[in-house]
């Protein structure tokens, strides 16, 4: 399991996971085991693996299926355009509802 930022070039990061506090690591253990089990079944294909990553801009978790050989993102949930749309809408959400006239 890789918990690094989503790579904007649609390639998987080659580096390992960043340092995680002990409490968070314990919370993530069942998820890590499940991802390893899924990857062991080759459910996503012989050359593909499932990863979890945190998008640095939206802070949302992203699931990616990565090609192990090319490091290309085969599939991603939520898709990149949804993450960017959420970021584009964020300033509007932060400013609150529009003022009523009349």
Query: Does 1 map to a domain?
Result: no
Query: Does 54 map to a domain?
Result: yes
| Count of structural domains, the chain | 1
| Higher local confidence (pLDDT), 10 or 99 | 99
What domain range is 36 assigned to?
22-94
| Higher local confidence (pLDDT), 37 or 16 | 37
pLDDT score recorded for residue 60: 84
Query: Does 10 map to a domain?
Result: no
Query: Does 30 map to a domain?
Result: yes
pLDDT score recorded for residue 73: 93
pTM (2 decimals)?
0.59
pLDDT score recorded for residue 78: 93
Query: Does 28 map to a domain?
Result: yes
Query: Does 42 map to a domain?
Result: yes
Half-sphere exposure of 95 (CA within 13 A, CB side): 7
> What is the arithmetic mean of pLDDT over 56-75?
90
Query: Does 86 map to a domain?
Result: yes
| Higher local confidence (pLDDT), 8 or 75 | 75
CA 27, 49, 22: angle at the middle one, nearest 5?
20
pLDDT band at 44 (very low <50, low <70, confident <90, very high): confident
């Amino acid at each position: 399991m890789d918990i690094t930022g989503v790579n904007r070039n649609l390639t998987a990061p080659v580096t390992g996971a960043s340092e995680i506090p002990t409490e968070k690591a314990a919370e993530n253990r069942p998820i890590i085991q499940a991802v390893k089990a899924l990857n062991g079944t080759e459910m996503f294909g012989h050359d593909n693996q499932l990863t979890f990553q945190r998008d640095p801009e939206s802070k949302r978790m992203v699931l990616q299926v990565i090609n192990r050989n090319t490091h290309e993102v085969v599939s991603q949930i939520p898709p990149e355009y949804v993450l960017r749309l959420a970021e584009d809408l964020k300033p509007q959400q932060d400013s609150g509802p529009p003022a009523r006239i009349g």
